[in-house]
Amino acid sequence: MRRLFSFLLVACLSATALAADPIKGERKEVFGDVTVHYSTFISTFLQPDIAKSAELVRSKNQGVINISVMNAGKPSTAQVSGTVKDLTSQSVPLKFKQITEQGAIYYIAQYPVEQAETRTFTINVEAAGKSNSFSFNQELFPGE
């Protein structure tokens, strides 16, 4: 699980190179003491053993979104939900599952990626007694 933590942390921090939302240098949103880090990528970037341990499908047509919530600089539990919308405005709900390991808490979900396109993600995070939402765009390339 430590390898999963390391991979997800690197993926979360390095996803800016793939971002279709170039204005932000770091993929995070800050709501008072709560900071939400996020990244998304095609699941073939995961090593097979990491995907298996996280119970994720590794496929060129499956995306992964990773959310990390920090409260006052410490990992925090939260209720995370959201949707991903394609260019035709077809929306798919994201079903997040929590992964907890050695001082880290992550929320991951998978979604289909049929073709190269920019997707719009809308994420809702309930943490520290407050509910916050944000949206971002990500260009995705299946099969790569």
DSSP secondary structure string for all residues of 93-111: EE--EEEEETTEEEEEEEE
For the cut 50, the answer to whether the pLDDT of residue 12 exceeds it is no
| Mean pLDDT calculated for residue range 85-109 | 93
| Mean pLDDT calculated for residue range 111-136 | 95
Q: Under a CB-based contact definition with an 8 Å cutoff, are residues 111 and 11 in contact?
A: no
pTM: 0.80
CA 31 to chain centre: 17
Count of residues making up the chain: 144
Q: pLDDT tier at 7 (50, 70, 90 boundaries)?
A: very low
What is the residue extent of each domain of the chain?
2-140
Give the pLDDT of residue 18.
42
For the sheet containing 79-85, what is the strand order? 91-94, 79-85, 117-127, 130-140
Q: Under a CB-based contact definition with an 8 Å cutoff, are residues 112 and 61 in contact?
A: yes
Give the pLDDT of residue 118.
94
What percentage of the chain exceeds 90 in pLDDT?
70
Residue with tokens 């996803």: 15
Phi-psi region of 32 (alpha: psi -120 to 50; beta: other; left: phi over 0): left
Q: What is the CATH T-level fold of the domain 2-140, as seen in this structure?
A: Immunoglobulin-like (2.60.40)
d(CA 136, CA 122): 7
Q: Across-strand partners of 34?
A: 31, 71
